[in-house]
Amino acid sequence: MAVIAPPREQEPRVPPPGLGQGRRPPGIITDRLFKWVALASGLLVLVILGLIAVTMTREAWPWFSAEGLNVFSTTWDPAKGEFGAGAMIYGTFLVGIIALLIAVPVSIGIALFVTEVSPRPFRKPIVYTVDLLAAIPSVVYGLWALAVLTQPLADLYSNISSATSGIPILDTLFAEPSPTGLSFMTAGIIVAIMIVPIITSITREVYATTPASLKEAAFGLGATRWEMIRGSVFPHSRGGVVSAVMIGLGRAIGETIAVALLIGSSQRVSAHILGPGDSLASIIANQFNEATGEQRSALIGMGVVLFALTVVVGVLARSVVARFDRRTGATL
């Protein structure tokens, strides 16, 4: 019992001499019991993740076995009994990518503003304010966007669409704008607002680990602040920022309620980003309570697909962080 908080698990503890070999020293039962209770609580994480995978796959099995590889087909037609997840997987990633394209530059900007630009006394209040964005519930974002944003956005979309007609690529991308404003784009914009806080907070911590010596060296060579950021801060934190983006993507593909209210619930694969679509999470939210039979099983199956996607993205993000940790010794 010499070392406290040992780096490795200790050998079973020997009772201190003088307390007698036959009798257990006082308190040792509580000590061991507590350790086991604590361990059990930790293992709960493992148990829950295992149960999620097992019970959900079991309930989704009728769908997996009935459709076979068709689970990835792009036709979703409950009336005909065709349940393919392809369109929803596409929509999930499209919304995620739109959200990242908006959120990443903004988040990097805020992180730089907090760590390098703003005067010191303002830094904490700024961080707290940006974190408040994360405190607003998803459903409130959805309600607000539905009431305030969708109409102006619909007008904007139709203008963009007519302005770009005839230009290759863009005229496909912006064709057939949604007259209600419910679209991949609208969902992406709102999800972007929702993932800014998480990407900002990780990026900010990564930037803060840039050694002062690197920054001073850049300034010493006569660099402007922007040149210092480009030459010292960015190269130092590339890995950390990549993992922040991955974690943001994980959040974006799991976003449910706001997307369910804003994406337009149209199960199709379409390059028209200003038109309606659907995502894995939002179709579950919108259809689960009314669904029965294979449709319900298919929706649970989409939960399994979503779970698998977020786990893969999370593991990738984590492994980037691990590499970053080894290289710089920074902790996230």
Q: Hey, which residues between 65 and 124 contact other proteins (CB under 8 A)? A: 105-110, 112-113, 116-118
Contact present, 281 and 92 (Cβ < 8 Å): yes
Spatial distance between the Cα atoms of 286 and 290, rounded to a whole number of angstroms = 8
Q: Where are the beta strands (DSSP E) in 113-219?
A: none
Spatial distance between the Cα atoms of 203 and 244, rounded to a whole number of angstroms = 6
CA dihedral of 232, 104, 331, 237, whole degrees rounded to 10: -20
21 or 41: CB nearest other proteins? 41
Rounded to a whole number of angstroms, the minimum distance from the CB of residue 175 to other proteins is 27
**233, 253, 320, 330: which one binds other proteins (CB under 8 A):** 253
User: What residues between 268 and 327 interact with other proteins by CB under 8 A?
Assistant: 281, 284-285, 288-289, 299-300, 303, 306-307, 310-311, 313-315, 317-318
DSSP state of 180: T
267 or 279: CB nearest other proteins? 279
Asked if 148 interacts with other proteins (CB under 8 A), we say: yes
User: What residues between 159 and 198 interact with other proteins by CB under 8 A?
Assistant: 193, 196
90 or 207: CB nearest other proteins? 207
Cβ contacts of 179 within 8 Å, gap of 6 or more = 154, 158
Sign for the CA dihedral angle at 217, 223, 226, 231 comes to negative
User: What residues between 191 and 250 interact with other proteins by CB under 8 A?
Assistant: 193, 196, 200, 224-227, 229, 247, 250
225 or 268: CB nearest other proteins? 225
Contact present, 88 and 183 (Cβ < 8 Å): no
Specify the stretch interacting with other proteins by CB under 8 A; choose among 43-51, 158-166, 203-211, 237-245: 43-51
Gyration radius (Cα) of the chain, Å: 26
**69, 79, 135, 212: which one binds other proteins (CB under 8 A):** 135
